[in-house]
Amino acid sequence: MSRTDHPTRLRAWLTAEIAGSSRQARAQQLWRALWRLRSNFTALVGLLILLALLAMALLAPWIATHDIYAQNLANRLKPPSAAHWFGTDELGRDIFSRVVFGARITLYIALLTAAIVAPVGLLIGTVAGYLGGWVDVLLMRVVDIFLAFPSLILALAFVAALGPGIENAIIAIALASWPPIARLARAETLSIRGSDYVAAVRLQGASKLRIVINHIMPMCVPSVVVRVTLNMASIILTAAGLGFLGLGAQAPSPEWGAMLSSGREFMLTSWWLAAIPGSAILLTSLAFNLFGDGLRDLLDPHHD
């Protein structure tokens, strides 16, 4: 069999009218989603930007042109040039290299926070929606208390209690970000728990925990993934706000919010100190929003 036959067979397997196994059905669903994504220009742009940022973060040691911690006061506050593409900061450090390494910190905070809030919010929301009664009332009142405060103010309160640092900032942002996910998962569960297939599983003797984990949570995952992706911009802005206030990543870490904070003193004379990290925050937040809108079109069955 020639090598050219393999792509043809794979395409035929992915486009078959009837799936021969659950594995093939999942692969076909993913294939159709990726095919529809190609027609969504803005979502594709967002995905490409995110992939570029991820590649930049992974390859930072090879992309950076200077040591991010090396200080040279004789070279401080230099404008963008061939030697320093984004200029230098108040300590003579290369801003381009620091922005490149800062992508690692920003994506680390955003992705780890999302990995925490998605399962926590999903579990609490599905349990509250399926069990109902006093469990639902108790959990939703806790959610209402968290939602009564702006996420940044709530994160500031938590990080002030925990202390400054990246890990504490992640915990604080996660504590402030899970309630909207829980409320969404509860709403999805309320529309699912009365369906015929849930009733059939219940009649077969499945426990409440098994029904929630095996049958309700998977149905809520697409909506939760969309909401978490759209919330990534808010998570990044909150992380940058904490860094700006000195409660997130600590100096000399090249976190974008901290770089923006140190550059505000020189905005009138050295605009690049604040403009470059600020643009990086804006671009990353915009990319997540664009990609999240595309995911909503692909995965959310309730979105027109």
* Full DSSP string of 17-41: SS-SSHHHHHHHHHHHHHHHHHT-H
Rounded mean pLDDT of 51-56?
93
Of the pLDDT bands very low, low, confident and very high (cuts 50, 70, 90), residue 304 is very low
Q: Which range marks the domain in which residue 59 is found? A: 41-299
Does residue 278 lie within any of the structural domains? yes
What's the pLDDT score for residue 49? Answer: 93
Does residue 15 lie within any of the structural domains? no
- Nearest in space to 247 (alpha carbons), one of 65, 109, 115: 109
Does residue 20 lie within any of the structural domains? no
Q: What is the CATH number of the domain that holds 157?
A: 1.10.3720.10
Does residue 46 lie within any of the structural domains? yes
- What distance in Å separates the CA atoms of residue 144 and residue 241, rounded to the nearest whole number? 24
Rounded mean pLDDT of 237-255?
85
Does residue 1 lie within any of the structural domains? no
Start-to-end CA distance of the chain, whole Å, equals: 45
- What distance in Å separates the CA atoms of residue 284 and residue 290, rounded to the nearest whole number? 10
Does residue 69 lie within any of the structural domains? yes
Place of tokens 């402030």: 176
Average pLDDT over the chain, rounded to whole? 84
Buried b / exposed e along 39-71 (16+ C-beta atoms within 10 A)? ebeebeebbebbeebeebbeebeeebebebeee
Question: Per 3-state DSSP, what percentage of the chain is helix, strand, and coil (rounded to 5)?
Answer: 75, 0, 25
Domain count, the chain: 1
| Type of residue found at 187 | A
Does residue 171 lie within any of the structural domains? yes
Q: What is the reported pTM?
A: 0.83
Which tens digit of pLDDT belongs to each residue from 106-115?
A: 999 999 999 9
Which tens digit of pLDDT belongs to each residue from 115-173?
A: 999 999 999 999 998 888 898 899 999 999 988 888 888 888 888 888 888 889 999 99
